[in-house]
Amino acid sequence: MALPLALSGQDLIGQARTGTGKTYAFGIAMLQSIGKPRKNRKKPRGLVVVPTRELAVQVSEDLVTAAGKLGSRVLTVYGGRAYEPQIEALKAGVDVIVGTPGRLLDLVKQKHLDLSQVTTLVLDEADRMLDLGFLPDIERIFKLIPAQRQTMLFSATMPGEIVALSRKYLNRPTHVRAELESGEGEATPQVRQLVWRAHRMDKIEIVGRLLQAEGRGLTMVFCETKRACDMVAEQLDTRGFAVAAVHGDLGQGQREQALRAFRNGKIDVLVATDVAARGIDIDDVTHVVNYDCPTDDKTYVHRIGRTGRAGRTGIAVTFVEWEELTRWKMINQMLGLDFAEPEETYSTSPHIYTELNIPEGTKGVLPHANRSRAGLSAEHIEDLGETGRVRGRGGRSAGGRRDEREERPARTPRQRRRTRGGREMAETAPAETPEAELVEAKSEDTPAIFSTDEIQDMAGDKRTRTRRGAATSAIEQALADTPETPVRSTRSRRAVAEGADVPAKRTRTRRTATQAEAVTEGVTEAARPAVEPVTAPAAEPVTAPDTGFRAASDPGPEPSFLTTPPPPARKEPERIIPPSPFAVIFQSPDLATDDDDIAPSAATERKQQRRQSRGGNRRRAG
């Protein structure tokens, strides 16, 4: 019905069920009006705007098939691909452009695409473009096209926004509706619909048994979110089914790889969001599963419309959870279905096997003998020159697996330059460096006079020196440096108050006495040697071996380069080790004098006030 009107050049609004051939209705008329291509004509004459990339690829393939005899040049323009091939094709000349609104406006902004000679404009799946928020982009495209044009608008449903858009931009359009009844959005009659109320944790088991039904062909499973798509695809893959996912988070190469594998039969289960619910025409789709309940009646119609196309029959199974019953009742009422109260269903329910023709005893895991599909890995990924970041499954590369053969580039060796004082070591280094450095005769760390025990230790005696000697000297030095605690002279307050001449008591603080006792005890204990010193016999004189150390008064022979001097004696760092954690080694000096009175505390003042008040009360009573 729409073809004669489109051939006559009138504006047209086409409304029909999905799968009834709307693409050829506007494609044949547009190709006929454009005619054969010409060498001097490089700007496009026909423009088809579609909402999704997958639909753009499908429409362009159908137009290429329809233009086989005419030889019209059809170009597909959408995001996710490289700009260069599309720009080169536009420079060579095209007749029809099929694309998404975003990439079309990008090419127009870069001045690679000129729409000033477009004579035919087609909006396919216009309601879906409005749902995706493409209305401002569509209005900008209308302004770039000449006013003298033929506009055709096709959609499966006709909401109020589409009617308002047609009144604004179409010139006296003819509304053609291929419906048997007046109700719009009616489901395809060739599709057998089953609606079950299922539990969320049991739905994947029901799907696993449904996929083993007799006579089942290709199957599409629709989910509401991208995460749910990945989860369902992963679980079905672990159960042995040849499955792939399609959603917006995947790269364009992966999406087209999954659709090609699905069309070629390498996989038989496609899990997708509503991206694949519009206009995707794939033969032999026998089952459609609504894993998540649709949001509205239009989404339900388009989902189940993927099966039962072109006169074929199909089965659509919808799962409704308990919290989704209200939403489903609205969809059921809008479409006039008979599933107001879905039947409660589990994976062990007997009616699943009878209604879906599933063999008895089937489980949710596919047997190894029935796993005959090649799988998604058998389909190659086309290099599309994708723009932006490569979005992969689970954060991986575009192929879904990490390429282990990729080698990291070799690191360039780092050139280190050793400098001293701003100049390189090669300039400042001496010509010949001795293997061992000489030890200076006078050293601040080495004492000038050595005792007998120290000489024996340096001579190689195996007896070890303990650190107690160092600790003892450190404590003695700390006590010597600590100022003495001044002796305070105190008088009793009562004596001061009465004015009596009482001699002051000279007392020391308890803290200082405790400190002195603790330090004295620590010094006594530290002074005890852990190993009794061995003294040399008095008759024989003790001679120190030649270790390279000389006293200040004895310069000794000059060092020779032939003899290797011994390493310098290692001096232990001095450490202050208090014998008790409660001992105070350093104490700040007390600046108080003997004439200063100690300030009373708050408790003492309160006691004094109470005494004074009691004394006053007694005087009054007396």
Alpha carbons 83 and 103: distance in angstroms, whole number? 9
Average pLDDT over residues 212-235: 94
> Do 178 and 15 touch, CB atoms closer than 8 A?
yes
**For residue 552, what are its two tokens?**
């200040």
Residue with tokens 């047997």: 367
Q: Residue 358's closest CA among 197, 537, 213, 158?
A: 213
Confidence of residue 460 (pLDDT cuts 50, 70, 90): low
At 302-326, the pLDDT tens digits run 888 888 776 788 999 999 999 999 9
Of 127, 120, 194, 116, give the one whose Cα is nearest residue 156.
127
Average pLDDT (398-404) is 40
Q: Which pLDDT does position 369 carry in this prediction?
A: 92
| pLDDT greater at residue 455 or residue 363 | 363
Token digits of residue 603: 């408790």
| Helix spans in 448-565 (H) | 452-458, 468-481, 493-498, 510-526
- The region of weakest confidence among 119-128, 139-148, 383-392 is 383-392
Amino acid at position 396, single letter: R
Q: Which tens digit of pLDDT belongs to each residue from 92-120?
A: 999 999 999 999 999 999 999 999 999 99
pLDDT band, very low/low/confident/very high, at 453 (cuts 50, 70, 90)? low
Q: Helix, strand, or coil here: 299? A: helix
Ranges 76-80, 257-261, 579-583: which has the least confidence? 579-583
- Amino acid symbol at 593: T
**Chain-centre distance for alpha carbon 503:** 83
Where residue 569 falls among pLDDT bands split at 50, 70, 90?
A: confident
Average pLDDT, the chain: 75
- Residue 403's pLDDT is 42
Query: Of all helices (H) and strands (E), which one includes residue 31?
Result: helix 22-34
**Length of the chain measured in residues:** 622
Q: What is the mean pLDDT of residues 355-364?
A: 92
The SS3 call for residue 272 is strand
From the list 536, 97, 40, 274, the residue with the least C-alpha distance to 288 is 274
- Report pLDDT for 566: 76
Separation between Cα atoms, residue 317 and residue 195, nearest integer Å: 6
Q: What is residue 493's predicted lDDT score, i.e. its pLDDT?
A: 52
d(CA 118, CA 149): 7
pLDDT over 90 for what percent of the chain? 30
Choose between 329 and 489: higher pLDDT: 329
The predicted model gives 497-515 an average pLDDT of 49
Q: How many CB atoms lie within 10 A of CB 50?
A: 28
Is the separation of the CB atoms in 24 and 185 below 8 Å? Answer: no
pLDDT of residue 436: 43
CA of residue 616 relative to chain centroid, distance = 81
What is the structure's pLDDT at 299? 86
Smallest CA-to-CA distance from 197 within 332, 301, 364 is with 332
pLDDT at 82 over 50: yes
CB 306 within 8 A of CB 280: yes
R_g (Cα) of the chain, nearest Å? 49
pLDDT at residue 38, rounded to an integer:
80
Contacts of residue 252, defined as CB under 8 A and 6 or more positions apart, other chains included, come to 53, 78, 79, 80, 81, 384, 386
* Range with lowest mean pLDDT among 176-180, 331-335, 537-541, 563-567: 537-541
pLDDT at residue 91 is higher than 60: yes
| Stretch 482-510: mean pLDDT | 50
Q: Which one, of 3, 20, 17, lies nearest residue 310 by Cα?
A: 20
Give pLDDT, residue 464. 46
pLDDT digits (tens, 9 = 90+) for 234-259: 999 999 999 999 998 888 888 889 98
Domain at 191-382+391-395, CATH homologous superfamily: P-loop containing nucleotide triphosphate hydrolases (3.40.50.300)
Distance CA 11, CA 14 (A): 10
**pLDDT band (50, 70, 90) for residue 605:** confident
Phi/psi of residue 548, each to 5°? 95, -5
* pLDDT tier at 76, thresholds 50, 70, 90: very high
- Decide if pLDDT at 431 tops 70: no
Tell whether the model's pLDDT for residue 489 goes beyond 60. Answer: no
In this model, does residue 177 exceed pLDDT 50? Answer: yes
What is the topology classification, in CATH, of domain 2-178?
Rossmann fold (3.40.50)
Residues 10-20 have pLDDT tens digits of 888 888 766 66
CB atoms within 10 A of CB 310: 10
Q: Predicted confidence band at 448 (pLDDT cuts at 50, 70, 90)?
A: very low
User: For tokens 């590369």, what's the residue?
Assistant: 397
Stretch 408-418: mean pLDDT, rounded?
64
Type of residue found at 537: P
| DSSP characters over 325-361 | HHHHHHHHHHHT-S-SSPEE--TT-HHHHHHHTPPTT
Residue 141's nearest CA partner among 99, 201, 95 is 99
Task: Check if the beta carbon of residue 289 is closer than 8 Å to that of residue 220.
Answer: yes
Q: Whole-angstrom Cα distance, residue 179 to residue 186?
A: 9
Decide: residue 568, CB within 10 A, 0-12 exposed, 13-18 middle, 19+ buried: middle
pLDDT for res 226 = 92
Whole-angstrom CA distances from 210 to 120, 213, 345 are 46, 5, 13
The arithmetic mean of pLDDT across residues 380-395, rounded, is 58
- 493 or 60: whose pLDDT is higher? 60
In angstroms, the CA 426 to CA 417 distance is: 10
Q: Residue 617: left if φ>0, alpha if ψ -120 to 50, beta else—which one?
A: alpha
pLDDT-based confidence at residue 54 (cuts at 50, 70, 90)? confident
Summarised one tens digit per residue, pLDDT across range 367-377 is 999 999 999 98
Indicate if the pLDDT at residue 421 is higher than 50.
Answer: yes
| Range ranked top by mean pLDDT from 123-127, 307-311, 389-393 | 123-127
User: Which tops the pLDDT comparison, 414 or 176?
Assistant: 176
